Amino acid sequence: MPIGGFVITVFPEDIQSVVKALRGFDQVEVHGHDDNGNVVAVLDCDTSEDMEALVGRIGRVKGVLSVGLTYFNAEDEVEKMEKGQYIPSRSFGNKPPQD
């Protein structure tokens, strides 16, 4: 399960409504916010692809200006890939061999 730490920047006047919206996502844990519009949150998803989709949904919340990654850990996902238990739909920059 990938885990990522994020700073979500919002319009200061929208901080309360954005925090409320963020708490509505099962995979989001809000750790705090300041009066300048910075929200600290941790996202805990099943796959990195799920996290990418969730970041996109958060970015579309009214009042959100940016969603910045500060920390990312996906060791267990990498282990699953090494064992062949998980194959991501993206190649992460690796191209398949050409015939």
Question: Which residue type occupies 11?
Answer: F
pLDDT digits (tens, 9 = 90+) for 9-61: 999 999 999 999 999 999 999 999 999 999 999 999 988 889 999 999 999 99
Give the whole-angstrom CA distance, residue 69 versus residue 54: 12
- Fold (CATH) for 3-30+39-44+54-82: Alpha-Beta Plaits (3.30.70)
The alpha carbon dihedral of 65, 40, 68, 18 has a sign of negative
Q: Distance from first CA to last CA of the chain, Å, rounded?
A: 35
Q: Where are the domains of the chain?
A: 3-30+39-44+54-82
| pTM over the 0.85 mark | no
Task: Compute how many other C-beta atoms are within 10 angstroms of the C-beta atom of residue 65.
Answer: 13
| Residues 20, 30 contacting (CB under 8 angstroms) | no
